[in-house]
Chain A
């Protein structure tokens, strides 16, 4: 069975778990998926699906996941992963997916405002750093799944510490975008810019449509499309002069801010809906 089919089956079966078993299995799933990057991903998903099916059967027989599986799911996960074969390709896929995913999401918003050269070198370096930071954050979240619950720190303090650590790790990306200067620069003003924007947008739309799991969520796609529309409009000769006036720049800034806020609102709403569906 292919990896996508295994994940899809897992997603279909998981809602069958009761609340207690779901919490138990979700922790196990997050821990295994985030600490198994060097392992054969198909075998990892096969094991996760088999364990889910067994927990569902135990649940049907009135047995809780913890009673069936034992008190040390982390130890079982560690032992299980040690026995599964390593696979460098799975790890390379994760790195490339994160790197190009980041480029896909941020490229069009980066070139929205014309009039300044794009520092491609700084952009690629920051994307490489961002890839490492995202992977480190995800890995840390997974590793802390079991430690987080036994920690004696107050819940709110743990959340604040987590957010601060995440911000600290992501800050260099934004710092690099502003302060790192490299000679690899391109100017995407005028017709060339419009052509590149349309090309990237069409590419993203085709990929998002044809891939089995749409990798761009609706709020992010909305943000990208509006960034692209603004990018095209401001490059049209008829509106090009607008950016040279103070009023024009203010309108553009307000528009970008508004779109960012709407996208963030949509993201929160989507996250809220997912959580609500999960709790039901």
Chain B
């Protein structure tokens, strides 16, 4: 049960992160992985990106577009849709609420010490 919650939390978190990355500029698998490394998510195995991108595309949060890549064949670039941007804003709102709660919890715990 704990693992399910943790895995759901991670999926929601990663989905929000991917939408934010793609909002900045359309990107493909490896490009997204590099962005994740840059913002401090280097520990996340990048294999997890692919099923998540497929889910997000299926839910209409992002869409794929074939674009030429540097010196190689076309790559599938992902772009957020209007629904995707709304989901990202929703995620940021929820995260802020969660952060406030966590801050309260943590400062409460410190006072108790």
Contacts and interface: CB of A to CB of B under 8 A. Distances in A.
Interface stretch (B16-24, B72-80, B84-92, B93-101): B72-80
A70 B54 contact: no
B40 to A, nearest CB: 17
B29 A80 contact: no
Contact of A53 (B51, B58, B73): B73
Contact-residue bracket for chain B: 10 to 19
B58 A83 contact: yes
Nearest to A82: B51
A147 interface: no
A27 interface: no
B47 A53 contact: no
B46 A50 contact: no
A83 B54 contact: yes
Interface stretch (A71-79, A151-159, A189-197, A268-276): A71-79
Contact of B29 (A1, A51, A75): A51
Interface in A39-55: 46-47, 50-51, 53-54
Interface residues of A, number: 25
Contacts of A174: none
Contacts of B69: 53
A68 B33 contact: yes
B51 A68 contact: no
B76 A70 contact: no
A119 to B, nearest CB: 48
B55 A53 contact: no
Contacts of B33: 54, 58, 68
B52 to A, nearest CB: 8
Contacts of A53: 28-30, 69, 72-73, 75
Contact of A73 (B29, B47, B72): B47
B4 interface: no
B108 interface: no
A20 to B, nearest CB: 16
Given A51-B29, A53-B73, A54-B29, A72 B50 contact: no
A76 B51 contact: yes
A275 B55 CA distance: 37
B45 A70 contact: yes
Interface in B51-76: 51, 54-55, 58, 66, 69, 72-73, 75-76
Give me the 8 closest cross-chain CB pairs, A-B, nearest first: A70-B45, A79-B51, A76-B47, A54-B30, A83-B54, A70-B47, A69-B47, A54-B29
5 contacts: A46-B76, A53-B73, A54-B46, A79-B51, A84-B54
Interface of B: 28-30, 33, 45-48, 50-51, 54-55, 58, 66, 69, 72-73, 75-76
Given A68-B46, A70-B46, 5 more contacts: A1-B66, A54-B33, A72-B45, A73-B47, A75-B47
